[in-house]
Amino acid sequence: MSKIFAVIGDPIDHSLSPNIHSAAFRELNLDCSYIAYRIPRGELEEGVEGLKKIKINGFNVTIPHKVEMMKYVDKIDESCSVIGAVNTVSNKDGILKGYNTDMDGFLEPFKKKELPIADTKVLLLGAGGAARAIVAGFAKEKASSITIANRTLDNAIKLAEFSEKIGLNANAIKIEDVKDSAKNYDIIVNATSVGLKNEPSPISLEGINEKTIVYDIVYMPMNTDFIKKAKEENATIIFGYEMLLGQAVRAFEIWHDMEAPYNAMKKALLGGF
Ligand code: NAP
């Protein structure tokens, strides 16, 4: 029987997920379809009921529903309970199980490029939902410490407490206090939304070098000012689209229980830019 998948959120019309997953179905000749379904804030419960009625096989969850979706799943994977948000759901005989692929998606490019995380000093910009999953990733891979720099210091402090709780040494600062300290870190990640509207890099990257890994999770535009500044210093770059692709691959594997066609999915994603 034909299988059906979706991404839910609001706004949703610019989502790249339908392209990525449809390319995978074509590549493997799977009888499946993937749609973008707009569910406005406040209508998640009815929306999920509707998806169950059409016997959806699985769906991705994006802004603004990732945290609220925790209430509507029957089971949760460990990845979700640590992060406190759901971005992927499977439906097996009416039982919805929630997963969070943000962490695996974030780590995937490090694995693919064989870039080590163990014993590194990390500077993380941002303290929102994505930053929380990223902290969990660095804790899992045993980074030596993380400095969380955020516009709102309180949010950075809360995230640093979470980090310490899961075993990663952390401190919190205001983003403007990073000043010229970027060169003291091995890995620098932008997990703020700064860049989406072509804003200038949130920090100076002066003095970093080719060994510094600079990762921007903002994926549209691909070459943010933060990435451009990192290129000027010859840093090792990881683009936001690589995390997006990592997440799509992980979701595919959860739903289909088989290896995802990485190259076909990457081609479809890059074609969307
Ligand atoms: P979120 O929970 O809303 O967090 C937003 C973060 O950005 C907060 O730390 C916020 O600081 C900070 N921020 C917002 N505007 C700012 C500004 N003008 N100056 C400085 N800091 C600012 O969002 P999220 O879900 O974590 O997502 C963050 C970004 O990551 C989004 O652009 C999203 O598209 C991207 N993302 C990409 C992927 C991927 O696969 N590549 C996956 C997930 C998310 P305050 O605490 O001070 O508000």
* Under-50 pLDDT residues of the chain: none
Show the ligand 1 pocket: residues with CB < 6 angstroms: 102, 105, 126-131, 150-152, 155, 175, 191-194, 196, 202, 217-219, 240, 243-244, 247
CA 210, CA 153: separation in Å to the nearest integer? 30
Residue 229 has a pLDDT of 98
Give this prediction's pTM. 0.94
- The residues assigned a catalytic role are 66
CA dihedral 136, 137, 141, 145 (to 10 degrees): -60
Residue 273 has a pLDDT of 77
The beta-strand segments (E) located in the chain are: 3-9, 32-38, 58-61, 75-76, 88-92, 95-99, 121-125, 145-150, 170-174, 187-190, 213-216, 236-238
Domains of the chain in start order, with CATH, are: 3-100+245-271 (3.40.50.10860), 104-238 (3.40.50.720)
Residue 272 has a pLDDT of 77
**Residue from 20, 155, 177, 193 to probe ligand 1 pocket by mutation (most atoms less than 8 Å from CB):** 193
Residue 167 has a pLDDT of 97
Evaluate whether 236 touches 115 at the Cβ level (below 8 Å).
yes
> How far is Cα of residue 108 from the mean position of the Cα atoms in its chain?
10
The per-residue pLDDT of the chain, averaged, comes to 96
Centre of ligand 1 from the C-alpha of residue 135, in Å: 14
